[in-house]
Structure 1
């Protein structure tokens, strides 16, 4: 069993089921041209064009590696600590003790680095793109299988007249300037296991709201050496971008679910990078739940549990919004007893926002969805209306 509280572990098992695996592998990759045209592929083409203009001698490789990876390549070979929180089963989808569905496109980079037995004498870049598999909250910006693009660029130092820092700023500025020309980028220092001088890249989308669109930095010299590259002779940068969010910002798409919406009027607009034209939307329906849950349960786990519980109907949820959280000790004894709470519990007020893309949701059906979510999440005494 994983190192989780028993209540939480019951919601999220260590290994995904065969059905979960099949569903994940059958999900269409919107970045893959062989699976049908999509506007996301135009963004990737723009990024490739930027690189060719900036560095005319650059050798560019594009690759879509398989989603099943070794845990070693997803974490160990990239320098993640053995006790790192990212490894927890609540955030990662494990198949067994050695394999998993990748959580990041960087998982393909160690094997790519090792594949170069004869090192190139010119700058090289690899573009890896595809689906990554996580457990995530539910709102208009998040989904559990987002698309990610990783750009790693390595160049011989003796041929490069700029420093690693200058190379990072030049590449990241040019790529984002091309793909998001109407936005300014906020850079925040952060740490990554496989980079040095790492930065998180955010876009301001509200008065005080920022949206992360990527991260990266200088490729860690120790990582290069570990996989056969002499850091005295080579240096490079690593840039990871969230393709779903890039596309939403570029086109002005208000909801991540629209990227896969089968409605013909929507799909017609997913063929190019033209600005989004609003399609008539159905009214939203809201239901509030008072829940007793373990104090370790976060919105990512709640989102995963709701998706598992509702199946296809989970796609009708526009957002799960946490309105308030009250610890056990802040409630009067009568409320603790009424709710069936224990000291490790909290009382959460959760709002379900329902909006079907093409039809209204009847009141009775909305109530049934509310009740199923309540029964799946509530760990105290059930009080259904």
Structure 2
């Protein structure tokens, strides 16, 4: 049994706009998606089948049919938004693949590119590259031609895709293990002096199509991509929140793939807070609590960063008393950067937001508030 989303939280989650869906209005992510699909379809000359599916998916499609074990840590409620015991908000676009494969089994075609895009729901930190509702794209080439697909075909897929989306950008592949692939890899793209993960891929594990009713004559390539990050790299967008900005000077630039032109930046407000949290809490857990507590105001938070951690058992008695902490907890120093995209925060509003963040993450019995009203 897992904790289920309340009706209010589920409604809020389903109200988030899927920027890949033309039905909700145009967005640059849709142009990026079309470019990716067009490049592979033209290169392979295969049929293209789109499968958007629903945001609420069967737990079996999100996990079991992709090969995740019954005890996999990702099934924990810290990582999964359960609607009930059998359904959940999809945590990756790969959750759409089992349904797309079942549809292919019911209406076979010898060489198909399955396109499964959309919004997903993740536990994640808060910073300029991460959000709890990213957009992902699964691209699976599935064929029953006599020649089985190989790692060389996978290399070709990555090269064609990145050549279309991020031409001239160096990339590297590192080995990764996924339950739904063989010869799994992570794909990183160079951005300045750093490497940014943009995709994971591999040969489709034969048990995945088999569960959908496709027998052993089928083989496939599986690739999942983070669309937000690729768009940010392509356009030079510095902050993931800009993708959803309603500021006219920003929103007008989110309808095509031309380079982003920076608008005047609002000043940042920094607040450092010292809190007591469970010893197993990670920055992703704290990010989730902040998003849930702030709701629509979460967009005012540019980043939440852990500066230092200390087991509470190592703190002096006066520090424990100040936090109201237990020895089995840990003391975390957080840097909270507040910066709405379209306006400047007054000190009073910044302090109120700081206190809401503090209340969301602090699990001690004593509190230190910044706002006086």
Q: Place the TM-score, normalised by the shorter chain, in its bin.
A: over 0.9
Structure 1 residues 314-368: Cα deviation after superposition (integer angstroms, max 9, x where no partner)? 1111111111111123323442343332232111000110111121100111111
**Match runs of 1:67-216 below 5 Å:** 67-117=55-105, 120=108, 122-158=110-146, 160=147, 163-207=149-193, 209-216=194-201
State yes or no: 1:264 paired with 2:253: no
State yes or no: 1:244 paired with 2:228: yes
Secondary structure of 1:141's counterpart equals coil
For residue 29 of structure 1, the aligned residue among 18, 30, 33 is 18
Structure 1 residues 106-159: Cα deviation after superposition (integer angstroms, max 9, x where no partner)? 11211222233467453111101110012211101111111111001111241x
Query: Structure 2: how far apart are the matches of 1:213 and 1:368?
Result: 36
Q: Which runs of 5+ in 2 are unaligned?
A: none
What TM-score comes out, normalization by structure 1 length? 0.92
Secondary structure of 2:225's counterpart equals strand
Secondary structure of 1:168's counterpart equals helix
Change (3 A) 1:276 1:116: closer
Q: Which residue of 1 aligns with 2:274?
A: 290
Q: Which residue of 2 aligns with 1:220?
A: 205
Structure 1 residues 225-273: Cα deviation after superposition (integer angstroms, max 9, x where no partner)? 2322223x22110100011111000000000000010011111111111
Q: Which residue of 2 aligns with 1:9?
A: none
Q: Which residue of 2 aligns with 1:64?
A: 52
Query: Structure 1: how far apart are the matches of 2:267 and 2:106?
Result: 60
Secondary structure of 1:112's counterpart equals helix
Query: Structure 1: how far apart are the matches of 2:308 and 2:61?
Result: 39
Query: Structure 2: how far apart are the matches of 1:225 and 1:70?
Result: 18
Secondary structure of 1:113's counterpart equals helix
Change (3 A) 1:52 1:372: closer
1:183 Cα deviation after fit: 1.7
Aligned residues of 2:105 and 2:212 also touching (Cα < 8 A)? no
1:310 Cα deviation after fit: 1.4
Query: Structure 2: how far apart are the matches of 1:124 and 1:144?
Result: 31
Q: Which runs of 5+ in 1 are unaligned?
A: 3-13
Query: Structure 2: how far apart are the matches of 1:195 and 1:55?
Result: 21
Secondary structure of 1:128's counterpart equals strand
For residue 318 of structure 1, the aligned residue among 263, 288, 302 is 302
* Deviating more after overlay: 332-341 vs 126-135: 332-341
Query: Structure 2: how far apart are the matches of 1:335 and 1:23?
Result: 38
Query: Structure 1: how far apart are the matches of 2:211 and 2:255?
Result: 42
Query: Structure 2: how far apart are the matches of 1:199 and 1:88?
Result: 24
Structure 1 residues 182-222: Cα deviation after superposition (integer angstroms, max 9, x where no partner)? 32112110111100010011123353x43221101000012
Secondary structure of 1:42's counterpart equals helix
Q: Which residue of 2 aligns with 1:54?
A: 43
CA RMSD of aligned residues (A): 1.6
1:79 Cα deviation after fit: 0.7
